[in-house]
Amino acid sequence: MIEKEPSQLPDDPAELYEDEDVVAADSATPPQSSADEIPADPFAEDDSGDSVATAEAGLDSEDVVERFKPAADTDPRRAKIVIAKKLPGRRLDKYLHGRFRKISRTIIQRQIKRGEITVNGKPTKNSYEMEAGDVIDMSFPVPEPYEVTPENIPLDIVYEDDYIIAVNKPASMIVHPARREQRGTIANALAYYSAKLAKTDDPFRPGIVHRLDKNTTGIMVVAKTDEVHWRLSLQFERRETEKVYVAVVHGAPTFDEDVIDVPIGQHPTVHDRYVATGFAERMGGKFAKKLSKEAVTRYKVLERFSGFSLVELYPKTGRTHQLRIHMSHIRHPIVGDPFYGGRNISLRHATGRPGDSDEIRWKRQMLHAHRLRVTHPITNQPLEVTAPLAPDMQELLDTLREFARPSAPNFKPRRR
> Which residue numbers are catalytic?
213
Residue 144 near residue 197 (C-beta atoms within 8 A): no
CA-CA-CA-CA dihedral for 224, 226, 230, 231, to nearest 10: -60
Query: CB burial class (10 A; 0-12, 13-18, 19+) of residue 324?
Result: buried
Helices vs. strands in the chain: H and E counts, helices first:
10, 18
Within 18-144, residue ranges assigned H as helices are 51-57, 92-99, 105-113
Q: Which of 166, 87, 163 is nearest to 128 (CA)?
A: 87
What interhelical angle do 105-113 and 92-99 show, nearest 10? 130
In the chain, the largest separation of any two C-alpha atoms, in whole Å, equals 76
Residue 312 near residue 298 (C-beta atoms within 8 A): no
DSSP conformation letters of 295-316 = -EEEEEEEEE-SSEEEEEEEES
- Residue 154's φ and ψ, nearest 5 degrees, are -60, 140
Residues linked to residue 246 through DSSP beta bridges, in sequence order: 312, 368
Q: Which of 342, 355, 347, 297 is nearest to 322 (CA)?
A: 297
Element (H, E) at 258: strand 257-261
Task: Please name the amino acid found at residue 129.
Answer: E
Number of CB atoms found within 10 A of residue 389's CB: 17
Name 340's Cβ contacts closer than 8 Å, sequence gap at least 6: 2, 4, 321, 324, 325, 327, 328, 333, 334
Within 158-255, residue ranges assigned H as helices are 186-193, 226-237
Q: Which of 365, 309, 362 is nearest to 337 (CA)?
A: 365
